[in-house]
Amino acid sequence: MDEESPLPLGYASPPWPRPFRPLALAGIAATVILAGMLVGASTNAINGAVSPTYFESVMGWQILSNVWWESIAQGVFEGMIGGVLLSIVYTTTLGIITRGSCTYDMGVRWLGLILLPVYGLWGIGGIAGVVLAALRPQFFQSTFIGVPGEPGQMLRYAWVGGSIWGAYVGGPLAVIVGLVLFRVNWRRMLKQQSGHDS
């Protein structure tokens, strides 16, 4: 091999140097936690209005208490826990992919793209719960706790239970897919920028 021949490189020319942005990553981490709390509060605000019976049965809350407000508070609490876990995974992965150079705007923009499917899967889970309860009411009542016997109340209960499971399953799935797509987009952007340099 000719000693003067250039070695093959991953880029047409060296990529632009990017500054390390620890404050941006810290801001992204905090925003992810707040986003988790917002998702928990907003979804439980709807669920608490749809079926207070679900929360009374599953959480053991008193019938005379303000179930709607308690459901929102529960959503904020659970959203904060999920947000902390998501923040660790999301911010760490962004930091590794971008070598600490991810801007706050970019991190939050991709977070929004991840949260949209979470809401979508929350809704799909609710619909799946309603369909299951409508098609197999006896199975549904014997499988889950405190399901009301009245058909309308049972379907409301099924929406809440299904939507919660949809969010629990959809959240991690949306994060994984979102981060994979972010990595693909980041690598494409670097190649485009290095191509402009040549």
pLDDT single digits (tens) 159-187: 999 999 999 898 889 999 999 999 999 99
pLDDT number for residue 11 = 46
- Cα of 97 vs its chain's centroid, Å: 19
Confidence bin at 18 (pLDDT 50/70/90): confident
Going from N- to C-terminal start, the domains of the chain cover 22-197
Question: Would you state the structure tokens that stand for residue 43, as one six-digit string?
Answer: 């979804």
| Overall average pLDDT of the 27-43 stretch | 96
Examine the pLDDT at 77 and tell me if it is beyond 90: yes
Q: Which residues of 3-21 are buried (b: 16+ CB within 10 A; e: fewer)?
A: eeeeeeeeeeeeeeeeeeb
- Amino acid identity of residue 118, one-letter, is V
- Cα of 49 vs its chain's centroid, Å: 22
Query: Range with the lowest mean pLDDT among 56-65, 76-85, 112-121?
Result: 56-65
Examine the pLDDT at 130 and tell me if it is beyond 70: yes
Q: Do 104 and 24 meet the contact criterion of CB atoms below 8 Å apart?
A: yes
Examine the pLDDT at 19 and tell me if it is beyond 90: no
| Overall average pLDDT of the 56-84 stretch | 87
DSSP-based three-state secondary structure for 106 = helix
| Overall average pLDDT of the 19-23 stretch | 88
Query: For residues 57 and 151, what is the distance between their CA atoms, to the nearest angstrom?
Result: 16
Examine the pLDDT at 3 and tell me if it is beyond 60: no
The contacts of residue 147 (CB under 8 Å, 6+ apart) are 57, 133, 140, 141, 154, 157, 158
Measured from the Cβ of residue 136, the count of other Cβ atoms closer than 10 Å reads: 12
Examine the pLDDT at 123 and tell me if it is beyond 50: yes
